[in-house]
Amino acid sequence: MPGVVLFIPKFLVLNHLGLYDSYTALILPVIADATGVFIMKQFFESIPPTVEEAARVDGAGVFRTFWSVVLPMARPALITLTIISFQGSWNEFPHTLVAVQSPELFTLPRGLADLVSGSLGKGTQYPLKLGAALLATIPVAVVFVVFQRYFVRGANEGADKG
């Protein structure tokens, strides 16, 4: 379903809950999405049952197995999800159109849209607009470069100790 279809229901829910035009309205609806659930589900299904069985044989309970064995193996999937979620949240423009109205709560894409639509006054001022767009892409590139080494590692790293 296209996100545009959800604009009015999203606005009505935020307004009904008293969250409209607040930081909570910006953060809460984008915390979890179907992509993240799908990525983590697929990863956890790919873990061999023998890894969990070995932890149980060693005397680990359910929580200890998850915390000490499965979660460290999930690092590549979590890093992937972090990169995708950060990039998606950083570039989220339509949600801010629905969630906030106050200029002090505008996110970077919404501020750039305001800049491009003429808040600078008369004239095109393309160098300033392009410079602002370039600066907006730098944090996403930095996050990817920092987490790149984790992003490309195998999912079962450390599972089999030979």
Q: Where are the alpha helices (DSSP H) in 47-125?
A: 49-57, 62-65, 71-73, 75-90, 94-99, 108-114
pTM: 0.69
pLDDT of 30-86, one tens digit each?
887 888 899 999 999 999 999 999 999 999 899 999 999 999 999 888 888 888 888
pLDDT at 155 > cutoff 70: no
List the chain domain ranges: 3-151
Average per-residue pLDDT in the chain?
84
pLDDT at 153 > cutoff 70: no
- Residues 21/101, Cβ–Cβ less than 8 Å: yes
Q: 3-151 maps to which CATH number?
A: 1.10.3720.10
In this structure, the number of other CB atoms found within 10 A of the CB of residue 44 comes to 13
Rounded Cα distance between 103 and 61, Å, is 51
- The SS3 of residue 49 is helix
